[in-house]
Amino acid sequence: MRLVYLPAYSPDLNPIELLFSSMKCTIRRNDMLMQRVMEPGDDFAVYAALHDIVWGVSASDAEGWFTKCGYF
């Protein structure tokens, strides 16, 4: 294991930023679905939709993000 100090704010070296980008892309791609889900009073549907987006990330996606950020 090797300890590497990163700059204070370095989104290019942070794999979670790529996850957030992927989530936002999925939400934009399914805009009509999200608008229908986000009807007033149905908070559970919004959480369920976000749950599906987050858990839709595969291990190969995460591995690719870590590789892109320079973690081998």
| Domain boundaries, position 42 | 12-69
Do 23 and 54 contact (CB within 8 A), yes or no? yes
Does residue 27 fall inside a structural domain?
A: yes
Does residue 42 fall inside a structural domain?
A: yes
Does residue 5 fall inside a structural domain?
A: no
Does residue 1 fall inside a structural domain?
A: no
Does residue 6 fall inside a structural domain?
A: no
Does residue 32 fall inside a structural domain?
A: yes
Question: What is the chain's Cα-based Rg?
Answer: 16
Using a cut of 0.95, tell me whether the model's pTM lies above it. Answer: no
Does residue 7 fall inside a structural domain?
A: no
The total number of structural domains in the chain stands at: 1
Q: What's the burial of 32, exposed, middle or buried (CB within 10 Å: 0-12/13-18/19+)?
A: exposed
User: Tens digit of pLDDT for each residue in 15-67?
Assistant: 999 999 998 898 888 877 777 776 777 677 778 888 888 899 999 999 999 99
